[in-house]
A and B are shown apart, each in its own frame.
Chain A
Amino acid sequence: MKTVKSPFQFPGGVHPRYNKDLTEEKPIVDLPLPTTLAISMGQHLGAPAKCLVKPGDHVGLGQLIGEKSGFISANVHASASGTVKAVEKRPGPTGNLADAVILETDQDQTDTSAFMPPLDWEKASREELLARVEAAGICGMGGAGFPTSVKLNPPPDKHCEYLILNGAECEPYLTADCRMMMEHADRIRRGVETMRRILGGPAVRIAIENNKPAAIAAMEKAFADASGDVEIVVLPTLYPQGSEKHQIYATVGRVVPDGALPIAVGCVVENVGTAAAIADAVDSGMPLVRRVTTVSGDGIVEPKNVRAPVGTSYADLAAFCGGERGNVRKVISGGPMMGFTVPSLAIATTKTTSGLLFLTDASVFQYSSNPCIGCGRCLRACPMGLDPSAISCAVEAGDVADAEARGVMNCIECGACSFGCPAYRSITHFCRRAKISIRARLAAEKAKAAKKG
């Protein structure tokens, strides 16, 4: 095991104010169990899970309540024991409606009989371990929520050469991954070794930004006796360093082609929180039912890194952190660059909720979008090498075809373009709009073709 500086630097990127000092010294604390949870069936990328319970049922902690309903889908488990009050459509952090199980929780949460039997990662077979990751409903906890079992099971013609552990946490404010690495390095290590076994022993690259020296030290200690090709890659602090494609470039110098997955260049990228969740699923048989969320911002009394059951309402998280203070203008689920502004605190956390930010007048600047003056800052900031200026102008003029020709589908929606725009143009939003309408058109064409043939 050795620690190296990142050998390659992607073009573009921006330096937002990080504000991580609000929570980076705060140890992870457990949230007292809320009285109600709203567990969504659509927490991951892909098809929503099929709900297995009905109102009146009693469920145990860790019991399967939603079954994966397709190749790219994930199981959902009860994050507490309790009684199902209702199964109803609820909006998620992005506003998309999905079935949610409304659970009234029991006082006593000591019964773990619904957990799966523990496995020994060193003795269990590759298939057993992979089946466990799938059964435990584990999906990428960095934000996108791609089902982990799919990533860990590449097609037979593809071979994984590098397992990249994403500890970059490049979003401002968020410190959940940083604290996980500092406090749970041993669990992360076991999760990584499990994934290595499943993937047939690839080399490991642990990517961490250089603004987290404590996390780097903790990971160095945990992986000190690791066998084989293991490197901790220290990345320069630059947004969006945590983006999958850019992290692959920064650590191993490979470029993922347009529209392809990382496995196309022999890489699998997993978040540090995901690794810890895999360790839990294997060691104790506990499915993914809780996660660490950074509650921060200048609009919350006491910013904290909170470990809470999946399905906790934002209101409960806010109350645990002392409630709001000042004139809170914006509540963001996730980080400020890629997160979503939420309209209500009734929305509940999911497996991918990395942060919940309360921002006051002092941090929120409201503006209207002006015409592009062609300064080129977005072009210099874009890590995907696009021309966000031209794309935004095309979308504004209703010319989605031109935006598509300019590669808008490669946009990773990182927000670096909007961040520095002196005309305050919501460039990322224009890109999202174009992508949504292009996807809708492609889906319609596909449906038409299926009907014909």
Chain B
Amino acid sequence: MLDVLIALMPAACCAVYFFGLKAVWLMATCVGATVATEAVCRLLMRREMSILDFSAALTGLLLAFNLPPDIPLWMAATGAVFAITVAKQVFGGLGYNPFNPALAGRAFMLISFTGPMTTWTKSTWIGYFDPEGVQAVTTATPLGLIKQGAFADWNVFGFVRDLFVGNVNGCLGEVSALALLVGAAYLLWRKVITWHIPVSFIATVAIYAAFKGCGAPPLVHVLSGGVVLGAFFMATDYVTSPITPLGKLIFGAGCGVFTMLIRTADPANGGYPEGVSFSILVMNAFTPLINRWTRPRPFAKLQAKS
């Protein structure tokens, strides 16, 4: 878990760089609330203290990464308390939770505080994505614009560059794909995660966007919203993702399909612009089943070689 926290540091620095001090407050609130909630839960349950495994701190940081920078801090704290109590400790703590706690916290907040959860402030830079050229206090995210069908006029190259370095609107930790990829490389190098889930997730999103024509080129879909953060840091959560290599590929592909289904759902029916968190939560529910489908091949069933 400590390795994952280390891997998230580049993205955390980017968040502070783009959104300023409020990013620090938001991350501190979420991490403080999750760790405190974890401690209280363990005390009430009379179980071994578990805050030093850093899983609660990680949940807090990931939750903060999935929130808009201007969300009121009390709402963030509420989400953090929900994530730890309802999504994790009622099941018995780390190892027993069926759903990713940070994403469950975010889903809870998205439904409870829909307005603040979908209000975005401009980051400190001015990017290519502002088609009206209006210096408004609040703007849409790239995915919000895609959903409105407003993508066509933009300078794609500049936009992709902005998406890559993080000069766009969005949740705290998901804006800079570059910073996330640096952290992801660290996780792969340390063998904390394997390539299966991120590759199948991102490839599925790209292929879906290429063949279905989802309002923007595949690269824009991959770099927008939470795909990079979700694919490398959330979908790869050990507890809530399958254990076998084949299972991981299925899981990643499922995440990709659900993400794109939600992104391309008709906005008139209230479809959210972004579907990464819900898609991972849905696939979390399939994890036990996928594990059952994809048992490893026993040594005795190996093909003889001579």
Contact = CB atoms under 8 A, between A and B. Distances in A.
Contacts of A11: 299, 302
A151 interface: no
B244 A256 contact: no
Given A258-B300, A389-B243, A410-B299, A373 B305 contact: no
A31 interface: no
- Number of chain B interface residues as a range: 20 to 34
Nearest to B240: A374
Interface stretch (A245-253, A285-293, A443-451): A245-253
A423 interface: yes
Contact of B243 (A252, A265, A385, A387): A387
Contact of A385 (B95, B291, B301, B304): B301
| Interface majority SS (helix, strand, loop, mixed), chain B | loop
Contacts of B306: 252-254
Interface in A248-282: 249, 252-258, 265
B243 A376 contact: yes
Contacts of B298: 258, 384-386, 407, 410
B127 interface: no
A386 B93 contact: no
Given A387-B244, A389-B243, A255 B300 contact: yes
A387 B295 contact: yes
Contact of B296 (A256, A374, A387): A387
A372 B95 contact: yes
Given A254-B306, A385-B296, A387-B244, A373 B301 contact: no
B95 A255 contact: no
B277 interface: no
A410 B305 CA distance: 21
B239 interface: yes
B118 interface: no
Nearest to A376: B243
Contacts of A375: 238, 243
B46 interface: no
B212 interface: no
Contacts, number: 84
A390 B295 CA distance: 10
A284 interface: no
B96 interface: yes
A376 B305 contact: no
Interface string A116-146: 0000000000000000000000000000000
Nearest to B92: A371
Interface string A409-444: 010000000000001000000000000000000000
A407 B301 CA distance: 12
B94 interface: yes
A373 B239 contact: yes
Nearest to A7: B305
A268 B219 CA distance: 58
A235 to B, nearest CB: 15
Q: Which of A373, A379, A387 has the most CB of B within 10 A?
A: A373
A434 to B, nearest CB: 16
Given A7-B305, A255-B303, A374-B243, A385 B238 contact: no
A263 to B, nearest CB: 15
A374 B304 contact: no
A18 interface: no
Contacts of B301: 255, 385
Nearest to B193: A375
A372 B95 CA distance: 5
A370 interface: yes
Given A253-B306, A375-B238, A383 B299 contact: yes
Interface string A19-47: 00000000000000000000000000000
Contacts of A340: none
Contacts of B299: 10-11, 245-246, 249, 255, 383-385, 410
Contacts of B303: 255
A50 interface: no
Contact of B239 (A374, A384, A410): A374
A252 B194 CA distance: 31
A410 B300 contact: yes
Contacts of B291: 387, 390
Interface of B: 92-96, 194, 238-241, 243-244, 291, 295-306
18 contacts: A11-B302, A254-B304, A255-B301, A255-B302, A258-B298, A370-B94, A373-B94, A373-B95, A373-B238, A374-B239, A374-B241, A375-B238, A379-B243, A383-B299, A386-B296, A389-B243, A410-B298, A423-B95
Closest 5 CB pairs of A and B: A253-B305, A371-B95, A253-B306, A376-B243, A375-B238
Given A245-B299, A252-B306, A255-B299, 19 more contacts: A11-B299, A255-B303, A265-B304, A373-B95, A373-B238, A374-B241, A375-B238, A375-B243, A376-B194, A376-B238, A376-B243, A376-B244, A384-B300, A385-B298, A385-B300, A387-B295, A407-B298, A410-B298, A423-B95
